[in-house]
Amino acid sequence: MTPSLEYRLRQHRRRKLVRSWEYRQRRHAHGVWFRLRSVLANARAAYVISGGDARRLMAEGHRLEPVGGELDPPKLIMFAPAERMTRIASTRPVAVRLNAEVLAAECLALTPFEAERGENRRMATPDAGPD
């Protein structure tokens, strides 16, 4: 076999290995990527925090998101108010999307979107009665 054919064969085998790994990951995920994207979609900002700060947030009553435990390695993912995040020294902001920084983080704190004031109020309409 010529060197160029051997090179092409090695490249083909590498692509096939990567593709089979990707398919295997999707098949065994059981919807975890969808659930993780759903959690991230509800976050205004994301911060990588230390394990100690994550434990303090849990002690304060902030609930862990179940999807963090479904990942391998497991991650501590929780929502906390933005004003609370400003008081944590170890915060490092990351983009709110499924990327390498988010996946590499051991502890991730997310800030929720604030409820819009008056979002449930109806616009007042003048009475259409006769004058």
Q: How do residues 75-126 score in pLDDT, each as one tens digit? A: 999 999 999 999 998 899 999 998 999 999 999 999 999 754 444 433 444 4
Q: Could you tell me how many residues make up the chain?
A: 131
* 32: three-class secondary structure by DSSP: helix
pTM value is 0.67
Position 71 confidence tier, pLDDT thresholds 50, 70, 90: confident
Closest-CA residue to 109 (of 59, 43, 61): 43
Residue keyed to tokens 């919807």 = 31
pLDDT for 9 equals: 93
For 51-93, the DSSP string reads: HHHHHHHHHTTPPBPTHHHHSSS--EEEE--HHHHTT-TT-EE
22-42: per-residue pLDDT in tens? 777 777 777 888 899 999 999
Report the distance separating Cα 5 and Cα 90, nearest Å.
52
More confident residue, 29 or 131: 29
